[in-house]
C-alpha cells in the first residue's frame, strides 16, 4: 500500500459539533443499490476489481494450519484459470488484496505464501484483543508487536469503545497513536465496531479521531457485532475521510467488513467509493472489503458471464 498517514495533533474542533441528518443519509444510501448497475463486460470488469480488493479472511476459533493454507492458495489464485483466460486477464496476475488471520496464524500464512511464490500478498492480522478490545493496553500493544515480528504487514486494531461511548476522545486518540507506533512499518487499519458506537455522530467522531491518530485505514466492524458493514455507516465514514483529506491533504483508506456476502453487495460498495471519493478509492491501496464468503459469489458470477450458466458448488474452490 502506497499511502501512509502519519497523523496530526488531536483536534476536537474537527468533529465535536458534527450533526448528521439521518433521514437524508438513509435516502442517499438507499439509492446506491437500486439506481445504479453495471452489465455484461462492464460487470465482469467490476467483479475482477472487487476480487482484487478483498481481504480474504478466516477468523474462527477452529482455524488450523490447513484452513490457512487453503486461504493462501485461494488468495493467490482467486479465480479459476479458465475464467481468467476467457476474460483475457492472464497478464494482470489477479490476487486478493490481502489475507486476514489471527495473530497466531501469521507465521503459518507467511510460510505458505512463500511456498507458493505468493509472498507479495499482504498478510493482515487482527490484534489488540480483537474483537472486544477489553484487554489491558500493554497487552494490546504487545500483541501488535508480536504479529508484526511474525510477518504481518497490516494490522487491524480495535478501538476502545468504552472510552468512545463516554466521549473520552483524547484517550481514544492516545491509544490509537500508541498502536500506530507499535505497528512500525506495518500499515494500520482502525476498526470502529460501528454497531457498538450508538449514534452516527459517534461514528464520524471515531473516524476522525482514528485518522488524526495516524490510522492508514478506517474499518467499519469486526464482523462480530449485531450491526456490521451497512451503507449509511459507510457514507458517514467516507465523508469523514473526505473531510480529513480536505483539512490535511492526507489520503486514508476505507474497509467495510462483516455481512458482505454476495457480488451485488460488493459492487454497491465499489459504487459508493467511486461516487464519494473517486477512482483512487476503488483500488486495493485505499479500499478493501473484509469478507470470507464474498469471493465465492464473485467467482460464481464470472463463471455465469463466461459460460452462460452457474457453476455447481464443487466446481469452485473453497476459500
156 flagged as catalytic: yes
Is 85 in the active site? no
Task: Give the three cell numbers for residue 4.
Answer: 501512509
Q: What is the pTM of this model?
A: 0.96
Which cell numbers in the block locate residue 318? 473453497
Check 55, 156, 216, 297 and give the catalytic one. Answer: 156
Residue 224 pLDDT: 87
Dihedral-angle region of residue 101 (phi above 0 means left; psi in -120 to 50 means alpha; beta otherwise): beta
Q: Which of 177, 189, 205, 219 is catalytic?
A: 219
Place of cell 490447513: 66
Q: Does residue 219 have an active-site annotation?
A: yes
From the list 177, 180, 255, 297, the catalytic residue is 255
**What is the predicted pLDDT for the residue at 296?**
95
pLDDT at 35: 81
Reading phi first (left if > 0) and then psi (alpha if -120 to 50, else beta), residue 259 is in left
User: How does pLDDT run along the chain (319 residues), one tens digit per residue?
Assistant: 468 999 999 999 999 999 999 999 999 999 988 888 889 999 999 999 999 999 999 999 999 999 999 999 999 999 999 999 999 999 999 999 999 999 999 999 999 999 999 999 999 999 999 999 999 999 999 999 999 999 999 999 999 999 999 999 999 999 999 999 999 999 999 999 999 999 999 999 999 999 999 999 999 999 888 888 999 999 999 999 999 999 999 999 999 999 999 999 999 999 999 999 999 999 999 999 999 899 999 999 999 999 999 999 889 988 7
Amino acid at each position: 500500500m502506497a499511502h501512509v498517514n502519519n497523523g496530526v495533533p488531536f483536534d476536537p474542533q474537527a468533529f465535536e459539533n458534527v450533526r448528521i441528518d439521518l433521514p437524508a443519509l438513509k435516502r442517499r444510501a438507499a439509492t446506491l443499490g437500486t439506481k445504479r448497475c453495471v452489465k455484461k463486460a462492464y460487470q465482469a470488469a467490476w467483479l475482477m476489481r472487487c476480487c482484487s480488493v478483498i481481504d480474504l479472511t478466516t477468523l474462527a476459533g477452529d482455524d488450523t494450519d490447513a484452513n490457512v493454507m487453503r486461504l493462501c492458495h485461494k488468495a493467490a489464485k482467486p479465480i479459476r484459470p479458465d475464467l481468467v483466460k476467457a476474460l483475457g486477464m492472464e497478464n494482470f496476475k489477479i490476487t486478493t488484496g490481502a489475507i486476514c488471520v489471527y495473530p497466531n496464524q501469521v507465521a503459518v500464512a507467511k510460510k505458505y505464501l512463500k511456498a507458493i511464490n505468493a509472498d507479495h500478498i499482504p498478510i493482515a492480522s487482527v490484534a489488540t484483543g480483537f474483537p472486544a478490545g477489553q484487554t489491558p493496553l500493554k497487552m494490546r500493544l504487545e500483541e501488535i508487536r508480536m504479529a508484526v515480528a511474525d510477518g504481518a504487514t497490516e494490522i487491524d486494531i480495535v478501538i476502545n469503545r468504552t472510552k468512545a461511548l463516554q466521549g473520552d476522545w483524547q484517550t481514544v486518540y492516545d491509544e490509537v497513536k500508541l498502536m500506530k507506533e507499535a505497528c512500525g512499518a506495518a500499515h494500520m487499519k482502525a476498526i470502529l465496531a460501528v454497531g457498538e458506537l450508538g449514534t452516527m455522530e459517534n461514528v464520524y467522531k471515531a473516524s476522525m479521531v482514528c485518522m488524526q491518530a495516524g490510522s492508514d485505514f478506517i474499518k467499519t466492524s469486526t464482523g462480530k457485532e449485531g450491526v456490521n458493514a451497512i451503507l449509511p455507516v459507510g457514507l458517514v465514514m467516507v465523508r469523514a475521510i473526505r473531510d480529513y483529506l480536505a483539512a490535511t491533504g492526507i489520503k486514508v483508506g476505507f474497509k467495510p467488513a462483516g455481512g458482505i456476502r454476495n457480488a451485488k453487495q460488493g459492487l454497491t460498495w465499489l459504487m459508493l467509493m467511486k461516487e464519494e471519493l473517486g477512482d483512487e478509492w476503488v483500488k486495493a491501496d485505499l479500499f478493501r472489503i473484509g469478507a470470507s464468503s464474498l469471493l465465492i459469489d464473485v467467482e460464481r458470477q464470472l463463471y455465469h458471464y463466461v459460460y452462460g450458466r452457474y457453476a455447481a458448488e464443487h466446481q469452485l474452490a473453497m476459500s
